[in-house]
Amino acid sequence: MIEVVGVGASGLESLGAAERRLVESAEVVVGGERHLAMLDERPDRELVPWPSPLLPHLGEVLGGLAGRRAVVLASGDPLVSGIGSTLVEALGPEAVRIRPNLSSVTLARARMAWSAEESEVVTLVGRDLDLLRARLAPGARLVVLTSGADAPSRVAALLVEEGYAASRLCVLGDLGGPAESRLDGVAASWDDRPIPRLHLVCVECDGRPAGGGRPVTPGLPDTAYDHDGQLSKRLVRAAAVAHLAPRAGDVLWDLGAGAGSVGIEFARAHPRNRVHSVERDATRAARIRANARALGVPTLDVVESPSIEAVGTLPPPDAVFIGGGATTRLVDACWEALAPGGRLVVHAVTVETELLLHEARRRHGGDMARISVEELEPLGALTGWRPARPVVQWSATKPAAQNDPEDAS
């Protein structure tokens, strides 16, 4: 059992009696240089600093702990963007015992007088700043976990770019320690003032972004995407995402992704959703990446490949969308890859592909709809309806496996 002990900013004084005894009796203590500097060197206790980079050498460090009384020191709550999560993932929960201290998030909410229900935590530690874009909304209160002395300035610049220039920022440093500090300001006028090494940023969004901010529901305006015409239009896209039915933590294959709009809106449905957008055209693939970053889902995976070649390399999906290039072989491969309860949605704009979908429906069931959209446009001095090309949508949910009664006998 590896004991992971959370240490507050005040150092070892923040530990309870049981945690102190663990540290004192340990044969080996692993931690960052700041944590290990709190301990006296003793011949009967080895102090091991974490290597950098960590993950490539993690197995080597853990191997050296086998059969020894081991303690890992971490900051605050080890499961809040900390080493605790890494160790549980690597060793399993039965091999790790977490002994948390007050987390920086808890202390930040206390300083701001924000309840957990009315605020949200966003971690940017080791992650892309663009993740913040998807969490911005008028009135949102965000506790942003950051790293790097320039993090508050980068957060402020992103807020200005997104139309939240009037948002209030509060940088809290060395929370819970004797050197605790607080810096307040506004995004539009934030300067490169000195920032404590240990800090986080509290953001209270205030501003009037274009259109009032992006909705959390599918069907973003078409203007939200850079595209070359290969874009599932707003109403059609909303129908596709509704039938794909994203749930927290789902994996989507977006095949023939074009501008990536369906996959992006699936990813925006929940922070734990994972999307693999497959696009054979390199220019369009680059455009998908740019769209994903601009809309707050920079972790979206873009695969440059024909769809049929990619399906054998991707992780198992919970949902699949084929927006272009559907073939019988591709549909069958996707259906086979889906687990029971998985959803498949295919769009067709040609008669030939529509016939393919009728055959797929005959074999697998599901629903078909023909979506026709007309938009009001100027017609000379008057106005008239301009019809868009209709889209045929086939959607199906893979049923649970049925046991053969003869097998039971």
Residue 177 — pLDDT band, cuts 50, 70, 90? confident
Average pLDDT on 51-77 reads 91
Instruction: Using alpha carbons, select from 199, 179, 201, 180 the residue that is nearest to residue 190.
Output: 201
Side-chain half-sphere exposure of 321, counting CA atoms within 13 A: 34
pLDDT in tens, 87-132: 999 999 999 999 999 999 999 999 999 999 999 999 998 899 999 9
pLDDT surpassing 60 at residue 331: yes
- Give, as one character, the DSSP assignment of residue 76: S
Q: What are phi and psi of 392, to 5 degrees?
A: -95, 125
Residue 396 — pLDDT band, cuts 50, 70, 90? very high
Name all domains of the chain by residue range, CATH numbers in brackets: 2-102 (3.40.1010.10), 105-212 (3.30.950.10), 222-402 (3.40.50.150)
Side-chain half-sphere exposure of 188, counting CA atoms within 13 A: 8
Helix (H) or strand (E) holding 22: helix 17-25
pLDDT surpassing 80 at residue 178: yes
**DSSP 3-state of 85:** helix
Q: What is the pTM of this model?
A: 0.88
pLDDT score of 409: 44
Residue 404 — pLDDT band, cuts 50, 70, 90? very low
Average pLDDT on 51-63 reads 90
pLDDT in tens, 122-135: 999 889 999 999 99
Rounded to a whole number, what is the distance in angstroms from the first to the last CA of the chain? 47
Average pLDDT on 169-187 reads 94
pLDDT in tens, 216-264: 899 999 999 999 988 999 999 999 999 999 999 999 999 999 999 999 9
Q: Parallel, antiparallel, or unpaired: how do β-strands 251-255 and 274-278 relate?
A: parallel
- Give, as one character, the DSSP assignment of residue 8: B
pLDDT score of 402: 55
Q: 336-341: which pairs have CB atoms within 8 A and are 24 or more residues apart?
A: 337/253, 337/311, 338/398, 339/398, 340/398, 340/399, 340/400, 340/401, 341/397, 341/398, 341/400
Query: What mean pLDDT value characterizes the chain?
Result: 93
**What tokens were used for 48?**
């091991």
pLDDT surpassing 70 at residue 387: yes
